[in-house]
Each structure stands twice: as C-alpha cells, then as structure tokens.
Amino acid sequence: MNFTPETSMGEILAAFPGARRALFSRYHLGGCQSCGFPNEESIASLCARNGGIPPEEMIDHLVSANEHDKSLLLPPAALQEMLHSPTPPTLIDCRTREEHDAVKISNSIFLTQESQQKLFAENPDQCIVLYDHQGRHALDTCAWFLGHGMKNTKVLDGGIDAWSREIDPALPRYALEIS
C-alpha cells in the first residue's frame, strides 16, 4: 500500500499490525488516552498536532517498522522443520489460558510471568518462537522479549490458525467472540 499524508490511521493500523507499537516507541503516540488518535484521523493531522512531525518521516518509520516486523515472522513450515531438528526452539503460547487449555500446538509452554522470568534468566541466545491466535498480537510480546535481550525470538506467522490450516488440520480452528 502506498501511504500519503492523507491516509487515515485506521488504514495504517489495518495494513501494519505493529503500527501502534512503532508510533508509541518512536513518538509516544497511540499508547494511552492522552496521546491516542481516532482511526479517522489522517497522518498529516496526527503529525501536525504533535509538534509538526514531518508526515513523510512518520510514513518512512512505519514502513521500516513493518519490514522489521515481517523479519520476525516464521512461516509454519519453517517452524515444523525447526521442531524436528536436534535443537528445537522453545515454543511459547501467548494466548489466554482458556485458549491454551482448549487447543495448543504440541509441546508448547503457556506464557506466564513465571515462565517468562525463567526464560529471561536462561540462555539469551536460545531460540524462542511465540504464537497467538492469528500472529498479530504475538509481535508485541516478541518486541518485549527482544527488548529484554532475547535476540533469537520469532513469531509464528498466522499463529495457531495458520498452523492448523497448513501443518496440523486435526488441530481445531476457532473464532474469537469479541463483546
């Protein structure tokens, strides 16, 4: 997609799952009520009301951040191959406890505060693959892991849903109900 200063933030967020994280980390925008923005607001408007950030700079940052996010995604087939290697990655489920209890990828660990602290205390070079339902929210967790020195952390592209479609069709698929 070719973004212009007139592009709405809703369009940006739909195209780039990590856009809110990227805007918050660089510009402190979109993370709370005081620095938030409506989906209808344009990039130009957001930039103008936040100190006159050049819109092209913000667009370049969002494109670069999206490319970085893409580099963190691991296709299901690549994960399957890694899981059958002599040194398989640690597979971490970032979904809710209810989702994990209902359906999970074999040998995955449910992410808790305790399991996270244990991982952070172990080898920072270990390979970790995070997954969620559809591969979008695990990118935030991946950024957290990377920021804490776990430099070999990836995200299952498409999440458990893609795993079920592409690798293990016996694994039940599901849809989340949002109220």
50-107 per-position pLDDT tens digit: 999 999 999 999 999 999 999 999 999 999 999 999 999 999 999 999 999 999 999 9
Q: What is the pLDDT of residue 178?
A: 65
> Tell me: the pLDDT tens digits for 19-46?
988 998 899 898 777 788 999 999 999 9
DSSP one-letter string for 136-175: STHHHHHHHHHHTT-TTEEEETTHHHHHHHHT-TTSPP--
**Per-residue model confidence (pLDDT) at position 25:** 85
The CA distance from 30 to 94, in Å, is 22
What is the residue extent of each domain of the chain? 9-71, 73-166
- Give the pLDDT of residue 123: 87
Q: Is the dihedral of CA 66, 18, 79, 129 positive or negative?
A: positive
pLDDT tier at 152, thresholds 50, 70, 90: very high
Dump pLDDT digits (tens) for 111-135. Answer: 999 999 999 998 889 999 999 999 8
* Statement: 73-166 belongs to CATH 3.40.250.10: yes
Q: Give the list of residues 6+ apart from residue 7 with CB closer than 8 angstroms, or none.
A: 42, 43, 59
Q: Which helix (H) or strand (E) holds 92?
A: strand 90-93
Average pLDDT, the chain: 93
Asked if pLDDT for residue 177 goes beyond 80, the answer is no
Match 């933030």 to its residue by tokens.
9
